[in-house]
Every structure is written in C-alpha cells, then in structure tokens.
Amino acid sequence: MEDAVNALQQYYGTVTITCFAKISNLSVNGSYASAYINVIVVITAGYYYDTYSDSGHLYLQKVSNSWKLF
C-alpha cells in the first residue's frame, strides 16, 4: 500500500486516507476477549478515489491494564 500511496502522491500531491471501523459482538472472558470488526478505508488524491473494505474477528488479551491484539 505504501508504494501505491507514494505513486499517487507523485501524481496528485496530497493523499488522504480515512479509515472507518465498526466493532461489534464484543465478548470478554477473563483476560481474553473477541470482537467482530468491519473496516472501510477511503483513499482520495486529487480526482482519484478508491475504497477498500474488510471484516473479521479480533482476538485480544488483557496485559496489565491494557487490551492487546493477539
């Protein structure tokens, strides 16, 4: 993705990447958790516009007072 953004930047100048994430179905079991995520990424540069979307499960583990992806 970095190469694509660099190419867009050379041609159009400023490149904007916007990411939207919706997290649902969060389940916590002690120090472990899972959630479902839907992600939409929007890339714009000049007249260029593209979107990418994906979804899947996230798995987390509590480490001290923070939740970390694993």
For residue 1, what pLDDT is reported?
79
Tell me, yes or no, if the pTM score tops 0.85.
Answer: no
Rounded distance between C-alpha atoms, residue 53 and residue 41, angstroms: 6
Domain boundaries, the chain: 2-69
What CATH number does the domain located at 2-69 have?
3.10.450.50
Rounded distance between C-alpha atoms, residue 42 and residue 17, angstroms: 6
- pLDDT, tens digit, for every residue of 9-66? 999 999 999 999 999 999 999 999 999 999 999 999 999 999 999 999 999 999 999 9
Contacts for 63-68: CB closer than 8 Å, 24+ residues apart: 67/33
Residue type, 30: G
Please answer whether residues 36 and 56 qualify as being in contact, where contact means their C-beta atoms are separated by less than 8 angstroms: yes
Q: Which two tokens stand for residue 38?
A: 């839907």
